[in-house]
């Protein structure tokens, strides 16, 4: 009876071992690949297949999951670096690259570290592209640099089964020393423009002032001509009316004499004005002296 129990106990143990072995084998052979990933399977150390998302089977103890590669877009930050332009100006530039792994087997077997390799490719190509530009072109041509950069590295990383979705230039700025020099240059240019504007204003003011004086002098001359013509016409009319007598001349000279005395009296410098008692005799005497002379 005891031997039967022992026989049954031994058989149960073997059965349990077989069940455990089968369960473990099934567990090792069944693989569930999550969405957004692809798994690389090696068989006895050699690439065998790429597992797509979902449920799949492999040969346990022979096949091994060597790499788990994401199929989602990967963002690679490209570190900042100093770049020298064609006109020997140092600028600081960095970028960001968006990639997608289309062939995981090439990405893991074609290069040791694809992320490090792409970063180096972008940095090298960026130095080469900006090195052929002047400072002003480099600062204002981000789209052009982006297009040239994408064209330069797309074919290289395609050999690794990777597609470059896009590459963006994050920052491209002059170095600190160059920024200080540019600020000083801008300040000097603004000061120069201010001086030129002020000089132009003074020049225009002087021209307008001179034009004003010229116009005033011209009008004064025209006024003198008009007055002279008026006096001439007055003398002519008076002489025509009175004939050869002295009265026309005396009349006109007296008029001018009185006008001169009035202006002298209104002057700020005049203190005392002496008016002859007999203005007519005085004027007549002046005329007589004139005729005698």
Q: How far is the C-alpha of 153 from the C-alpha of 119, rounded, in Å? A: 10
Range 74-174 classified under CATH 3.30.479.30: yes
72-76, 147-151, 269-273 — which is least confidently predicted? 269-273
Is the pLDDT at 282 greater than 60? The verdict is: no
Q: 145, 130 in Cβ contact below 8 A?
A: yes
Strand partners, 92: 82, 173
Least confident stretch, 182-196, 206-220, 264-278: 264-278
Strands (E), the chain: 30-33, 37-43, 46-51, 54-57, 63-70, 74-84, 90-101, 162-174
Q: Residue 67: its pLDDT value, please? A: 92
Rounded CA-CA distance 104/67 in Å is: 9
Token pair listed for 81: 């670096």
Question: How far, in whole angstroms, is CA 117 from its chain's centroid?
Answer: 34
Question: 186 versus 279: which is more confidently predicted?
Answer: 186
Given a contact cutoff of 8 angstroms between Cβ atoms, the answer to whether 43 and 59 are in contact is: yes
Check: CB of residue 236 under 8 Å from CB of residue 223. Answer: no
Q: What band does 6 get if pLDDT is binned at 50, 70 and 90?
A: low
Domain ranges of the chain: 2-70, 74-174, 178-232, 245-293
**Secondary structure of residue 275 in the 3-state scheme:** coil
Q: Which of 250, 217, 252 is nearest to 232 (CA)?
A: 252
pLDDT at 281 over 70: no
Q: How far is CA 274 from CA 58, 265, 277, in A?
A: 139, 10, 9
**Residue 33 main-chain phi, psi, to 5 deg:** -90, 125
Percent of the chain with pLDDT over 90: 26
- Reported pTM: 0.57
Give the C-alpha distances (Å, rounded to integers) separating 208 from 30, 88, 99, 155, 216.
98, 49, 69, 70, 12
Cross-strand partners of 172: 93
Tell me which of 125 and 195 has the higher pLDDT.
125
Q: Comparing 16-25, 100-109, 152-161, 225-234, which segment has the lowest mean pLDDT? A: 225-234
Task: Band the pLDDT of 291: cuts 50, 70, 90.
Answer: very low
Across 225-244, b (16+ Cβ under 10 Å) vs e yields eeeeeeeeeeeeeeeeeeee
């Amino acid at each position: 009876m005891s031997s039967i129990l022992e026989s049954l106990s031994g058989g149960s143990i073997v059965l349990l071992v077989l069940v455990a072995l089968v369960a473990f084998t099934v567990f090792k052979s069944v693989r569930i690949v999550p969405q957004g990933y692809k798994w690389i399977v090696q068989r006895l150390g050699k690439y065998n297949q790429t597992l797509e998302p979902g449920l799949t089977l492999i040969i346990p103890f022979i096949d091994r999951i060597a790499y788990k590669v994401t199929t989602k877009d990967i963002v690679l930050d490209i570190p900042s670096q100093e770049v020298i332009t064609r006109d020997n100006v140092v600028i600081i530039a960095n970028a960001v690259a968006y990639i997608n792994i289309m062939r995981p087997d090439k990405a893991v077997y074609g290069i040791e570290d694809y992320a490090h390799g792409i970063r180096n490719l972008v940095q090298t190509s960026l130095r080469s592209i900006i090195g052929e530009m002047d400072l002003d072109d480099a600062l204002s041509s981000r789209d052009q640099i982006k297009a040239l950069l994408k064209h330069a590295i797309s074919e290289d990383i395609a050999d690794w089964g990777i597609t470059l979705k896009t590459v963006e230039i994050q920052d491209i700025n002059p170095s600190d020393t160059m920024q200080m020099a540019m600020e000083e240059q801008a300040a000097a240019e603004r000061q120069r423009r201010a001086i030129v504007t002020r000089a132009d204003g003074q020049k225009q003011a002087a021209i307008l002032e001179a034009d004003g004086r010229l116009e005033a002098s011209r009008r004064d001359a025209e006024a003198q001509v008009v007055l002279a013509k008026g006096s001439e016409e007055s003398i002519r009319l008076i002489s025509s009316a009175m004939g050869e007598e002295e009265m026309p001349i005396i009349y006109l000279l007296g008029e001018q004499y009185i006008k001169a005395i009035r202006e002298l009296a209104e002057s700020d410098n005049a203190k005392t004005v002496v008016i002859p008692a007999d203005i007519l005799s005085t004027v007549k005497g002046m005329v007589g002296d004139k005729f005698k002379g």
